Structure 1
């Protein structure tokens, strides 16, 4: 299929529909200000022309009021700006809904990267047995995280879903009603959600999307690739962080984790009950009907009361359904056999856990907790730990911890709350395993993992508290910063040479999951170095693990946008080459990436299939993706050059003040979108290491400067141009899919940048020179990426994606203008020395905060 038809389909099914529905939407009066819908197009035009003429946001807003609304007083003008924000937020929702509705039309659901395509290709090349063998031991795990980049409250997500359905059917009266509902439904959250609230909102996706799409994919593989009804490797599974991720979130307590695990179990039991209820209407046969009714009753009671006396195990439920299927096949002409089989498959995929609840905590917290544990054990007088434990070397401590037989039976002796909660969480893991099955909670991730001791402290605590006889928990180190990535192979070798830890790995199938984080990697080392650092770490960790007979499973902490390891993720997985272990693809999905890539049945199925086939593609074509020594040297040099440039930029004296005073960074905390604090430390002064990746990347995105997605790339490429060696980079681009994907994702960051918005800053006495540094790097990167790819415009190879971005950027142009206008007003008032509680200043700050929502939602995965 050529590129052109896809763009045509987008223009017909998305763009034209948006223009039609938007004109209906604009005529709706949501409140007393009936003229908003009429005035917004005029304001949009004023913004567009103003930026083309080089005007700044303040001039643009003032010009609009002088030209069209001269008689409005100051208060009325502010009210109109708030109304504009209200309308634009909802225009974004409308565009989301139309794009979701058109997904199967715009994307070829049987095209390249889908399972049907994979099967047909394997059949044509007589490689079906090879494909089956590959699927026997390959897995994709997506892990839903609660990281706060989703600005839609649950009620609005519901409206988007219903609106998509109505648009698909062109049901005008329903669309009109939903527009009205949309206008009256608040987007702003008045209080922060709790971790349990976050879990509930993501369980909605499990129930309404993944339960169905996972089942469909598994059924297809079972029926069309294996052509049998046997139980196979599940291939896809799901992880879950809300309620388990306590890294930097003091509100996640042991009770929260248990409560979420119970909610997950009730949710999956309810889904099984609903399926049984549908089956009951069909299986009205002798010897079958009574048994289905009995199962339905049992699961109904069980889904309401987890302590139900009639409770049934997963094994018993499956055996009963297999027995029913056998009767249906032998005595009732296999009527509705497929429907029974579909339910059996879902039970195989989800068990009683629905999703695996991961636990995560920072190594520094563990270190202080474990110090308290040692002190308490030594004070009790009956510990096998030596008195001088704290004075011993790291190696000696590791050796002692691997052999310790200490037990902690009474947690109440620990007065420190963090110590008590950490140990209690270990007890809760054991409890969840009993309740939801071992896979209900069997992974513990240590973020900021720097040493083997970090891992062994947790290893010892797990054994001391709840897993003395058999440790059924996988310990997962998370390496994020550039130095941590470089040290990772050494850390793992220390663990692999420890007999106790190796015995544990043997009991876990000789597999070691290792998590690598993009977000903080990019924040720490810049775009090229973060990606190349992770690539190299994966190669070395693969080699190190294979040396000791261990299969490394890589779990990627990928965010939504390229700046946080996102972008077109499946392209990365199909480009890894033979030097990186690829038995499983595991990645975090968060914020708008959940709703934009997996939020509907069609997008969920399509993107999951793309991930499955990306692994296959890499396995089959991995030799092609192998880097030659020359290409590797160029890649390393580019990464190191960009790393140095980015480090210099980050240490510029204006870097922190610019983010603090010229961006929306400090407003993120006011949006009430996530349960955890927006920065790590407690100091009033902004410290770079305290910055969380999401507000950091998001603030650059609001400025339309997307620095983390390109900074340093241009300078690194220019070095080769200046030396007359640009052909070496061109060679690398041509030869290596990983590098190609990296640069194409960077182009997305550049496409979403718009420097005319903040051009006024170039004349600022304090920040002008700093703004110019960023702008120059943007221009250099853009020019050289076009030169390298041979494109005339950015994202030329992806016209549909580019078209979608252009529409979204156009929708929010007035919103960005209003935000910059308000920021400038706040800055002027601060310079004039007005107090923090000045009413005018508070109003403008409210405008900045309110306009964050639409901007982020429009980019869908910009933060």
Structure 2
């Protein structure tokens, strides 16, 4: 392992290599315009100089054409801009691949936060037994979601993987071939993917990354921490949303869910078959070989045909392998026993389900479905529900729901498609459990959960449709907005005091999963308040659950960038302290977070180990992270004033028009990157509550203004400075790892902001004032964060992370310039009253949409 500082390792293994390979890349003739590679560096330089001088994007583009390409026609200029976009997208891929290849060199794979380090620390502090006990009950679950925050089609992801390998091996001729392939492979999709397409592309990660990395981590814990070959708590598992997440996605139908469950089962059976095939070549001993061949043949047939007659359950498979292991141990000197153990461990980890399919739907949909169902039952006279059910109070309705035992057998009796699909989904959960095992699908998440009634409606529906005898599904409410987070403890208490619901929890191990959503929290309440709101909710929910002898399992809906709850995730989990339940760490990962943090074996192992050790560190050193009463007062004050600032900003009359007309918001729907619509409602008008968090945060990111990641932080800090009480904030920063992590993530958002790009807007007669409000908050936040941390520049404590961001931002600078140039042209055409179907306008709109791709992909280290 190199002892060079991390920044030096980054410069040698990433930056230098990028410069060398990029210069080769720029000489490749991808198309008729061979000059593109020569002209792009000149355009890049024009952008850098122009912004330094204070020029706007239109001036920069015009200057470039005047200076270097004066004889080009208008059409030819536009063509060149499209070529630049294509080149820059591929430069981003090149940088991704180089960074992935250098991951184990830049990051210390045995340093702080890794399992080896955890074991060594525990051994030296005589805490090994304590560590073993924690590992027996602690779990990390990463849940893969199809939320579209990355724009690479599968073919491009494949090229990145191959390119990473070729760069690791310094294989120049293979790199050249892959560059040429990259030049000819389209980066955008002509059609939206289906939810099944999304599932298939994420199953690729399960097969090619997680199967190996999860197995290696489990093997390490078994062999080096427990030092035995016995079965232990699985510690890490994976959840899966594509195909089960119906929230706002009308394209996820019951048959989609069944298809995805079958695909998951088939994928894991194939992996087991592959391992048995390898074992067959090794275990060629008497009394063993025939049994391995039989298993291999059975699994091969089963993986091809899930309805095959010749099958065996996962329990039978493990039993047979354990029996084979006994023979190898007793009669064959334990030859190849570790390979056999590896397969047994993986079957223990993944069963026949591979990833647990979560079902998710909005409480408002459930309410409407449930109302229809009750009306139907009352009308047919076959119901235990009273005729005046809808007129009863919430408590009375809950009481009836907890005892509901009606049968809803005929699901086709309902004409309404949403009602029919919701009920069929419940019934197929049972089918999936029969086929893939209970863990195949055993959790139903209610998004936008506001009341105990929301939970009890689903509880009753599950029992009435498919789970009359025993409910083997956990109901998980998702609290998202600031008011919902505040109400969450009283909602849970109402459930804990309900006899029927409590009996269900006891049968499920006295655990209650509670999901908390960052993305919509940030959109709703701003950066500080969303994080503090969730922290407080977790404390109160922990206290409330412990009072009823229930273990709260918190599941965090986290996005990629800090503005959606991402950022330094493991630091966040190790900072929570003892007042927040931490038996499990569960979080959603999506888009570029999957590819950047878990996309290769090295990064996947490293980041999973960091998550495991962060949870355990919080356990062992939790008391030190406990926030004092004084610090909580300061934190609450900061969150409250930042919330007020953000609310005022959100209610500014120019807020919606600015997003609608000055940002890329409306272009997200045209990118074909995700299967679900980019907003919730059907209104033509832009309504804030309909906005999804991803396009909302993404639009600010494209503007290089990153509002959701810092807005309100500066004003909140300034109030303490103005009152002469800044030392209180300094004290909080010194004492609280949680607050420190929040601010470091906010610094990342500021580092990725670049206001020179949109400075021209400050002169705009309509939007100038609004732009200046944002810019002032940025300047204030930056100044006070530097004052508070004592840094000379942002992210000073993370030089390699900062360097990576700087390279990525530099790569996309021409792309951002082209995008702003096109947006400005569209605004000018609209002001001139040009119709929507004008050809010139359509071309500029295409430029904006195409430039979205590279900008987002380049932001992968926001995760």
Maintained 8 Å contact 1:56/1:759: yes
Task: Work out whether 1:127 is the aligned partner of 2:127.
Answer: yes
| Counterpart residue number, 1:99 | 99
Query: Would you identify which runs of 4 or more consecutive aligned residues in structure 1 move more than 6 Å?
Result: 1-4
1:701–1:862 contact (8 Å) kept in structure 2: no
**Whole-angstrom distance in 2 between the partners of 1:443 and 1:328:** 39
The aligned residue for residue 213 of structure 2 is: 213
Q: What SS class does the counterpart of residue 292 from structure 2 fall into?
A: helix
> 1:71-105: per-residue Cα shift (whole Å, max 9, x none)?
00100000000000000000000000000000000
Give the conservation status (yes or no) of the 8 Å contact 1:405–1:464. yes
Aligned position for 2:804: 804
Q: What does 1:741-756 correspond to in 2, within 5 Å? A: 741-756=741-756
Asked if residue 342 in structure 1 is aligned to residue 316 in structure 2, the reply is no
Give the match for residue 169 of structure 1.
Answer: 169
**What are the superposed Cα offsets for residues 518-559 of structure 1, whole Å, 9 maximum, x if unpaired?**
000000000000000000000000000000000000000000
Structure 2 CA distance for aligned equivalents of residues 383 and 512 of structure 1: 30
**Residue 412 (structure 1) shift:** 1.2
Name stretches of at least 5 consecutive residues in structure 1 with no aligned partner: none
C-alpha distance in structure 1 between counterparts of 2:438 and 2:120, whole Å: 37
User: Tell me, what secondary structure is at the counterpart of 2:143?
Assistant: strand
Distance 2:258 2:452 in 1: 29
Query: CA deviation digits over 1:272-296, x for unaligned, max 9?
Result: 0000000011111111111111000
- Give the equivalent residue in structure 2 for 1:286: 286
Q: Are the aligned partners of 2:822 and 2:848 in contact in 1 as well (CA < 8 Å)?
A: yes
- Cα offset for 1:150? 1.4
Distance 1:834 1:540, change over 3 A: same
Q: Which residue of 1 aligns with 2:678?
A: 678
CA deviation string 1:678-700 (max 9, x = no partner): 00000000000000000000000
1:152 is paired with a residue of what secondary structure? coil
Structure 1 residue aligned with 2:275: 275
Contact in 1 for aligned 2:2/2:105 (Cα 8 Å): no
**2:87 matched residue in structure 1:** 87
Aligned length: 863
Q: Is the 8 A contact 2:717 2:784 kept in 1?
A: yes
Tell me the equivalent position of 2:727: 727
Q: Which residue of 1 aligns with 2:603?
A: 603
Q: Distance in 2 between matches of 1:538 and 1:196?
A: 34
Structure 1 residues 133-172: aligned runs within 5 Å:
133-172=133-172
**Which residue of structure 1 lines up, in the alignment, with residue 849 of structure 2?**
849
Q: Which residue number in structure 1 is paired with residue 709 of structure 2? A: 709
- Whether the 8 Å CA contact 2:277–2:296 is kept in 1: the answer is yes
Is residue 264 from structure 1 mapped to residue 249 from structure 2 by the alignment? Answer: no
For residues 611 and 627 of structure 1, the distance between their equivalents in structure 2, rounded to whole angstroms, comes to 22
- The answer as to whether partners of 1:856 and 1:862 remain within 8 angstroms in 2 is no
**Distance (whole Å) between structure 2 residues aligned to residue 450 and residue 188 of structure 1:** 39
SS in 1 for 2:238: strand
1:297 is matched with which residue?
Answer: 297
Normalised by the length of structure 1, the TM-score is 1.00
In structure 1, the partner of 2:432 is 432
TM-score by length of 2: 1.00
Q: Deviations over 1:50-86 (max 9, x none)?
A: 0000000000000000000000010000000000000
Match of 1:405 in 2: 405
Matches of 1:602 and 1:594 in 2, distance apart?
A: 13
CA contact (8 A) 1:298 1:310 kept: yes
Bigger Cα displacement from structure 2, 55-64 vs 376-385:
376-385
Distance in 2 (CA, whole Å) between partners of 1:267 and 1:831 is 54
Q: CA deviation at 1:2?
A: 11
Q: Secondary structure at the match of 1:500?
A: helix
2:418 corresponding residue in structure 1? 418
Report matched runs for 1:611-630 at 5 Å. Answer: 611-630=611-630
Q: What SS does structure 2 have at the residue aligned with 1:108?
A: coil
Q: Distance in 1 between matches of 2:60 and 2:409?
A: 68
Q: Note the 1:309-708 alignment, pairs <5 A.
A: 309-708=309-708
3-state SS in 2 of match to 1:310:
coil
- Kept in 2, the 8 Å contact 1:591–1:861? The answer is no
2:47 matched to which residue of 1?
Answer: 47
CA distance in 1, matches of 2:526, 2:399: 37
Task: Work out the CA distance in 1 between the residues paired with 2:539 and 2:764.
Answer: 46
Distance 1:315 1:655 in 2: 57
- Secondary structure at the residue paired with 1:144? strand
**RMSD between aligned alpha carbons?**
0.8
Structure 1 distance, partners of 2:530, 2:442, is: 29
Alpha-carbon offset, residue 860 of structure 1: 1.0
- SS of the residue corresponding to residue 785 of structure 1 reads helix
Structure 2 counterpart SS, 1:126? coil
Greater CA deviation, 782-791 or 325-334? 325-334
Q: Judge conservation of contact 1:156–1:182 (CA < 8 Å) in 2.
A: yes
CA 414–701 in structure 1, closer or farther in 2 if over 3 Å, else same? same
**Aligned equivalents of 2:84, 2:287: Cα separation in 1:** 64
* 1:250 aligned residue: 250
- What SS class does the counterpart of residue 560 from structure 1 fall into? coil
Q: Which residue of 2 aligns with 1:238?
A: 238
- The more displaced of 577-586 and 852-861 is 852-861
Q: What CA distance in whole angstroms lies between the structure 2 residues aligned with 1:428 and 1:614? A: 37
Give yes or no for contact 1:698–1:862 (8 Å, CA) kept in 2: no
> 2:98–2:164: 8 Å Cα contact kept in structure 1?
yes
- Kindly indicate whether the alpha-carbon contact (under 8 Å) linking 1:572 and 1:741 is maintained by their aligned counterparts in 2: yes
Q: Distance in 2 between matches of 1:723 and 1:393?
A: 48
Please state how far the C-alpha of 1:125 moved relative to its aligned partner.
Answer: 1.1
Quote the offset at 1:500 in angstroms: 0.2
3-state SS of the aligned residue for 2:245?
coil
Q: Once the two structures are superposed, what CA deviation does each residue of 1:796-853 show, in whole Å capped at 9, x if it has no partner? A: 0000000000000000000000000000000000101111110000000000000000
In 1, distance between residues paired with 2:671 and 2:187? 11
Aligned partners of 1:143 and 1:240 also within 8 Å = yes
Provide the C-alpha distance between the structure 2 equivalents of 1:283 and 1:480, rounded to a whole number of angstroms.
53
Contact 1:668/1:695 (CA < 8 Å) preserved in 2? yes
Measure, in 2, the Cα distance between the counterparts of 1:737 and 1:621: 12
Equivalent runs, 1:781-796 vs 2, <5 Å = 781-796=781-796
Instruction: Tell me the CA shift for residue 861 of structure 1.
Output: 5.3
3-state DSSP of counterpart to 2:446: strand
Mapped to 2, the partners of 1:404 and 1:458 lie a distance apart of 11
Partner of 1:15: 15
Q: In 1, are the aligned partners of 2:166 and 2:172 still within 8 Å (CA)?
A: yes
Determine if contact 2:566/2:862 at 8 Å carries over to the other structure: no
C-alpha separation in 1, matches of 2:496 and 2:412 = 35
Residue 130 of structure 1: CA displacement?
0.4
Give the distance between the partners of 2:807 and 2:792, measured in 1 at CA.
20
